A and B are shown apart, each in its own frame.
Chain A
Amino acid sequence: MQDTATTIQISADPFAVVAFVAYLAVIVLIGVWSAKFSSAGVAEFFVGGRKMHRYVVALSAVVSGRSAWLLLGVTGMAYTMGAGAVWAVTGYITAEVFLFIFYAKRIRRFAEAYDCVTLPDFYAARFGDKNGLLRTTLILIILVFMIGYVSSQFVGGGKAFAASFGLSGGVGILLTALIVLAYTALGGFLAVSLSDTLQACIMILALVAVPIIAIIDFGGLGPVVAQLQTLDLTLVDPVALGAGALIGFLGIGLGSPGNPHIIVRYMSIANPDQLRASAVVGTIWNVVMAWGALFIGLAGRVYFPDVAALPDADPEKLYPLLASQHLHPIFFGVVVASIFAAIISTADSQLLVSTSSIVRDLYEKILHAGETIPQKRLVLYSRIAVVALVAAAVGFGLVAEKIGVFWLVLLAWAGLGAAFGPTSILALYWQRTTRTGVIAGAITGALVTVIWDRVPALNSRLYELIPAFAAASIVTAVVSVLTKPPEGVEEMFDSMELGDK
């Protein structure tokens, strides 16, 4: 999802700087504290040994999927179009309710029964993959989209860092990358999940406090809505945006079941029966954060009716500006921290998924298939791979910064969503799904996403995820029906429903 950066400086205020630096120090300390646990083996490093608490899973899954797009993009959208922006958050939140309740439990039970640490592990166990073609296809799709995805997070964090402290963009990217690198390489999945949980708390605190205070300062919700109606009646009309845009917004939700950095959270919970509690907490968090962002946009519109009053006339810079005008400096530091929290809680999860594809899927399961490699060595290689991937993402980010990389975020969300969403849903719920069908479907989803995105006549009409998801679903189903039915699937489906192999 789209990211952007702020130009509101906090460097002038010591209270704001202290709040922000304290937040950064805590997440790095979480990495140091988690290092011992994560050094035990790849299952600990990549899925926290499947011992994660239900609320950690809930919050980590929710904020890993929400980048600064929510805090800056959705607030800006609500500022510009009013209540119609509600559909941009409704699709993914609704999709994630069903994922938590139904999909997550099946994949978590299967993952334990067949010792799956990564998403390609799940596909390889479900369909068999003696020649490694299935796993190789999935690794390539993950790496192609994820490197750009992580880069764009670093660029977003770098710009926010740079603007907040008056640094250059390049230095900001390096600082963002170093912070993420430090706790991800040291503490692995546990550090990423715990820091995500802390960041979820910072994000919800800021997204609740800012709109409430801004609305109260204006005299209450009644005067805010009355003023919005005076400015433009369509601001309070949720369907004024038209059916096409509404469907496109709701379609964003199709990305949730296919983004590996979200799915792997479901695989990490200690007890799959507790995913119901995760569903309720995760949904409350998703809803409160999203509607907080919507109310920030609406309140911002009454304070700044003319977009020219915003920094660079950019609606995506409303959130920090509104916060700076209505909050004590120390809480403004928390608001700036919430923007970084959104960015790095997404980047760390994506980085770990990319690393697992290289070490677990490529090195251990393809290049050294059938061999026993000491777990400590695999963890060491994982840490080296995290460093290498951060270096690649920073290098790409520094080059791409000048041409803009935010389009990559929406592209990667769509590409991963279309490649893994339909194929994983069919793999979990339709016994007739075949390995060839999944390979064909995943490639179709990735290709249709890229092609649709590159053709202006297509991408101007509909977000690429919707046609790519549909095409991947059809191709997976048709190719599966045309190829030889798999054997021994009943036992696998029993493991999804009962948890035993």
Chain B
Amino acid sequence: MPLPFLLVMFVLPAAIIATAVILARFTRQRER
């Protein structure tokens, strides 16, 4: 399977979800 295809179809969506989780945790810690 071509690498660019793997990146956008699997890594990119996981990265977006990870970004949301990290930002949610980061902002919670900052507010505390």
A residues whose Cβ falls under 8 Å from a Cβ of B: 83, 86, 90, 93-94, 97-98, 100-102, 221-222, 225, 229, 236-239, 273, 276-277, 279-280, 283-284, 287-288, 290-291, 294-295
Chain B interface mostly: helix
- B8 contacts which chain A residues (CB < 8 A)? 83, 86, 238
B residues whose Cβ falls under 8 Å from a Cβ of A: 1-2, 4-5, 7-9, 12-13, 16-17, 19-21, 23-25, 27-28, 31
CA–CA, A287 and B12, complex, Å: 10
CA–CA, A229 and B2, complex, Å: 9
Known: A93-B16, A97-B16, A287-B17. Contact between A279 and B23, CB under 8 A?
Answer: yes
CA–CA, A83 and B8, complex, Å: 8
Specify which of A83, A93, A225, A277 is in contact with B24 (CB 8 Å cutoff): A277
CA–CA, A13 and B16, complex, Å: 40
The distance from the CB of A138 to the nearest CB of chain B, in whole angstroms, is 29
The distance from the CB of A100 to the nearest CB of chain B, in whole angstroms, is 7
CA–CA, A238 and B7, complex, Å: 9
CA–CA, A238 and B2, complex, Å: 10
User: A86-B9, A101-B23 given. 8 additional CB < 8 A pairs?
Assistant: A83-B4, A90-B12, A93-B16, A238-B8, A283-B16, A288-B13, A290-B13, A291-B13
The distance from the CB of A241 to the nearest CB of chain B, in whole angstroms, is 12
Q: B16 contacts A90, CB within 8 Å?
A: yes
A-B contact pairs, 12 of them (CB 8 A): A86-B12, A225-B5, A236-B1, A236-B2, A238-B5, A238-B7, A273-B31, A280-B17, A280-B20, A283-B19, A283-B20, A287-B17
Q: B4 contacts A237, CB within 8 Å?
A: yes
- B24 contacts which chain A residues (CB < 8 A)? 101, 276-277, 279-280
CA–CA, A53 and B25, complex, Å: 20
Specify which of B5, B16, B25, B27 is in contact with A287 (CB 8 Å cutoff): B16
CA–CA, A238 and B5, complex, Å: 6
The distance from the CB of B20 to the nearest CB of chain A, in whole angstroms, is 4
The distance from the CB of B26 to the nearest CB of chain A, in whole angstroms, is 9
Specify which of A222, A239, A279 is in contact with B4 (CB 8 Å cutoff): A239
Q: B27 contacts A284, CB within 8 Å?
A: no
Q: B2 contacts A280, CB within 8 Å?
A: no
Q: B4 contacts A294, CB within 8 Å?
A: no
Q: A280 contacts B21, CB within 8 Å?
A: yes
- Nearest-neighbor residue (CB-CB) of A100 within chain B: B20
- Nearest-neighbor residue (CB-CB) of B20 within chain A: A283
- Nearest-neighbor residue (CB-CB) of A84 within chain B: B8
Known: A238-B4, A238-B5, A238-B8. Contact between A94 and B16, CB under 8 A?
Answer: yes
The distance from the CB of A279 to the nearest CB of chain B, in whole angstroms, is 5
* In the A-B complex, the 3 residue pairs with the closest CB atoms: A283-B20, A276-B24, A238-B8
- B23 contacts which chain A residues (CB < 8 A)? 97-98, 101, 279
- A295 contacts which chain B residues (CB < 8 A)? 9
